[in-house]
Amino acid sequence: MKVYCLSSLFVLTYIINSVNAALFRVICSPNDYGGSGVSVNIDGKSYDMKSENNDILYEYSYDGTPTNYYYEVTGAKGQDELSLFGSPRNWNEKNSSTLYEVYGRRHTIGDDLIKTIPRLYPALEGYGKYSLLFQEGEIPVINVHMKPADYSQLISLTQDSDVKFTIDFDLYTPYEKKTFTDATIELSGQGSRLQEKKPYKIDLAKEDPQNPNKKNTVIYNRKEFKLRNIRYDPSGIKNKIAGDIAESLGLPITQAAPCRLYINNKSYGLYEIADMYKKKFVRRYFNPEKDSDNEYHYGSLYKGVSGEYPALFYSDVGDGSVKDLYETIVKPTEGYDPYKDLLDMIKWAEDLPADASLDDIEKQFDVEMFLKSAILEYMLCQWDGYIYNGNNFFTYIEPNNGKYHFFSYDFDSTFGKWCEAKTVKF
Which residues, in sequence order, are bridge partners of residue 136?
none
User: Phi and psi for 141 in degrees, rounded to 5?
Assistant: -120, 130
Q: How many CB atoms lie within 10 A of CB 228?
A: 24
Q: pTM of the entire structure? A: 0.88
Compute the distance between CA of residue 348 and CA of residue 274 in angstroms, rounded to an integer.
Answer: 34
pLDDT digits (tens, 9 = 90+) for 337-388: 899 999 999 999 999 999 999 999 999 999 999 999 999 999 999 988 998 8
In the chain, the percentage of residues whose pLDDT exceeds 90 is 70
* Exposure b/e, 291-318, CB count within 10 A at least 16 = b: eeeeeeebbbbbbbbbeeebbbbeeebe
Compute the distance between CA of residue 188 and CA of residue 157 in angstroms, rounded to an integer.
Answer: 11
Residue ranges per structural domain of the chain: 6-102, 125-274, 289-408
- Record: fold of 6-102: Immunoglobulin-like (2.60.40)
Q: Would you write out the chain's pLDDT as a tens digit for each of its 426 residues?
A: 333 343 443 333 333 344 579 999 999 999 999 999 999 999 999 999 999 988 999 999 999 999 999 999 999 998 999 999 999 999 999 999 999 999 999 999 998 888 889 999 999 999 999 999 999 999 999 999 999 999 999 988 877 778 999 999 999 999 999 999 999 999 997 767 777 889 999 999 988 777 766 678 999 999 999 999 988 888 888 999 999 999 999 999 999 999 999 999 999 999 999 999 999 999 999 999 988 788 899 999 999 988 777 888 877 765 557 888 899 999 988 888 899 999 999 999 999 999 999 999 999 999 999 999 999 999 999 988 998 888 999 999 999 889 999 999 999 888 886 666 555 554
Which residues, in sequence order, are bridge partners of residue 302?
328, 395
Q: What pLDDT was estimated at residue 285?
A: 96
